[in-house]
Copies of this chain bind each other. A is one copy, B any other.
Amino acid sequence: MPTKKPGQTARGTQSGRPIMVLFDILGQRWTLRILWELRGGRLTFRQLRERCDDVSPTSLNKRLKSLRELALIDLEKSGFGYTQLGIELGEKLADMNQWSERWAKSLDR
């Protein structure tokens, strides 16, 4: 299945609305994790695999391919890393991290 871009129909919707396309890719396993692990700077394919609990190269490659097509990450000599757009999305994940800590505390009580 080719990666769907905003404006095109994505898994589970016909609208092509950007948020639906985003939910499509983020709703696939490892996507969120990959974006998260890149927050500290560029990583090679193999470094990224290690950080992601040795995700299978098959899955990793599929996700990286999609994320590159969607212009969220790119590949340079020093490895995979955020594009300008990806940085913004990474900030959203950082927000979620903060929220998740409060969430965990609430669940404890």
Does the CB pair A55–B12 fall under 8 Å?
Answer: yes
Contact of A97 among B19, B70, B96, B99 (CB under 8 A): B19
Task: Looking at the assembled complex, report how far the CB atom of A97 sits from the nearest CB atom of chain B, in whole angstroms.
Answer: 5
- Chain A contributes a number of interface residues (CB within 8 A of B) equal to 42
* Chain A binding surface, main DSSP class: helix
Residues of B within 8 A of A6 (CB): 100, 103-104, 107
Interface residues of A in 63-88 (CB under 8 A from B): 70-71, 85, 88
Contact (A71, B106) CB under 8 Å given A12-B55, A27-B27: yes
Show the binding face of A for B, using Cβ within 8 Å.
5-7, 11-13, 18-23, 26-33, 36, 52-53, 55, 70-71, 85, 88-89, 92, 95-97, 99-104, 106-108
Question: What 6 additional pairs, Cβ within 8 angstroms, besides A6-B103, A26-B27, A92-B96?
Answer: A18-B97, A26-B32, A27-B29, A27-B32, A92-B99, A95-B95
